[in-house]
Amino acid sequence: MRATRLALALSLFLAAAPPAAFTQTVTPAAANVPRLRALDFAPFESALAAVKPADAADIDAFVQTATIPALQAAMAAGLPAEALTLYFLGRIRSYDDGLRSYIELNPNALEEARAADKLRAAGTVLGPLHGIPVNLKDNIETAGPMHTTVGSELLLNDIAAGDAALLRKLKAAGAVILGKANLSEFAGVVANGPLIGGVSAVGGRTTNPHGNFPTGGSSSGSAVSTAARLTVVSVGTETSGSLVAPAAWNGVVGMKPGRGVVSGQGVAPLILNNDSAGPIGRTVTDVAILLGGMDESDADYLAGLKVDALDGVTVGMLSQAVVAVEGNGQLWQGVAASLAAAGARLRPATLVDDPDWAGPGPFTVYLGGGIRHDMMPYVARRHPAIKTVDELATYNAKDPAARIPFGGELLSSLAAGAKDLGEADFRALGAWLSRAAANTLDAAFRASGAEVLVSFENVHSPYYATAGYPAITVPVGLRRRGGMAGQLGLASDGMPAGVTFIGKPGQDARLLAYAYAFEQASSLRVTPTLR
């Protein structure tokens, strides 16, 4: 099978829709379900009531285009982190009943903002995230009072023993945690929902703020909340396309860092080999700062962002696979023009599969193995009575309206495909797939002489995610038709799209610089109008 067909099949499966063998009945697109836990604004009501409309309007006008450095400058000049936090809480109260981008609010958000203001007043600024509101995908563990549900009714009232490693770093950097973002339940292996991703029993279905379009995958709540200005930035996670796709389809920047750049401790797993937490923001600048606040190194990603970073750089254009998707051609021409304007040298590039990787079969089995050997042990540690997929399916079936409101056939089908895959064989399959994906990418880099490969949305997500290479998507405006959504018979006229840069291992900083240079040369992000 050619790389084009493989990439599309796996991308559609992991971030959009399952293969025909795993299709399921879903609710109509207009339907949603009640939240299992309402967003609690009680801790903020008196403070929200005291906000003057004129002050809120001033902050709104500023935040629409402000990057994190601009927000820091404003806070240094007198804008309180408390006022900024209240601004976002007010927007969440106004808009999130329709968007469903949040699962839970942090009742201590205002206390954290006030603490940041006191430190600043005393002359202490902990870093570029000091006082900046952030939210976290709800598969990232938080100590009480917030819960960590992974979107599942089974885990509705569970509170993790402590904060995930990345969250400890964000708190040490002075970030204000607004709450937990909605997600595709268990990172997307329970149900796809009517508009591709972002459905959970706990939070319901996320909505694309640009219109009746797909939200794209597991990190939908993180992408939607960022696009709709219900947070400054958000942390999502990716297994294969589940961060990049929602970022692209909701019109924001999203990065899957290289393997090991961000600690996975305290992140509920789907496939440990692939899983990676990453930043989502409205600009590459904000993404670079958020990554710097939660990674395992002391890298200053912001310092490396240069407008001329692409000047003279050879980029490998994965055009064949991209333009094979109807509707991508015109957008791809614009990508090429912006790259050329930034000084990049464009070269054709192709991904040629390992001959033994003959189709989506091995990866589908691998995903089922991840459910059995990575995901379910995590569930069993928290609920010892539920140790297997069959036990989880039985539990859900006892109250389907509350526990699997968007269906649950996908979970059982995937797990069944790996029922004979023992843990040792699962680990060996993962190691082989990782090597095969890395070999494919490395061959494309060598053949094209490129420093970075250029793709589109999540077309090549199985490769970079399985190899553990970094990737970042940057908005390229709104499409007129087609794309993966169009292939599935869904509306796509006016839906955001994104170009994706795939970097070499260990070159996350360089990848961010390339993305920044492209962003500055193109400036194609579109702000949604909320109603």
Secondary structure class of 186 (helix, strand, coil): helix
Asked if 134 and 163 touch (Cβ cutoff 8 Å), the reply is no
Q: Which of 95, 40, 106 is nearest to 206 (CA)?
A: 95
CA distance 487 to 494: 15
Secondary structure class of 136 (helix, strand, coil): strand
Which is catalytic among the residues 200, 218, 461, 492? Answer: 218
Q: Strand 233-238 to strand 276-281: parallel, antiparallel, or no bridges (unpaired)?
A: antiparallel
| Total Cβ atoms within 10 A of residue 114 | 17
* Preceding amide of 246 cis, omega within 30: no
How far apart, in Å, are the Cα atoms of 32 and each of 27, 42, 155, 204? 8, 24, 20, 6
Secondary structure class of 429 (helix, strand, coil): helix
The residues facing 348 across adjacent strands are 317
Catalytic site residue 137?
Answer: yes
Q: Which residues contact 171 (CB under 8 A, 6 or more apart)?
A: 163, 177
CA distance 312 to 464: 24
Q: Please name the residue ranges forming H helices in 268-419.
A: 284-294, 319-323, 329-341, 361-370, 376-382, 389-397, 400-403, 409-416
Q: Which residues contact 400 (CB under 8 A, 6 or more apart)?
A: 408
Per DSSP, 259 falls in state T
Catalytic site residue 220?
Answer: no
Which is catalytic among the residues 11, 137, 225, 492? Answer: 137
Where does residue 349 fall: left (phi above 0), alpha (psi -120 to 50 degrees), or beta otherwise? beta
Per DSSP, 359 falls in state S
Which is catalytic among the residues 219, 242, 448, 522? Answer: 242
Q: SS in 3 state form for 406-426?
A: CCCHHHHHHHHCCCCCCHHHH
Q: Which residues contact 122 (CB under 8 A, 6 or more apart)?
A: none
DSSP string, 54-87: HHHHHHHHHHTT--HHHHHHHHHTT--HHHHHHH
Catalytic center residues = 137, 218, 242
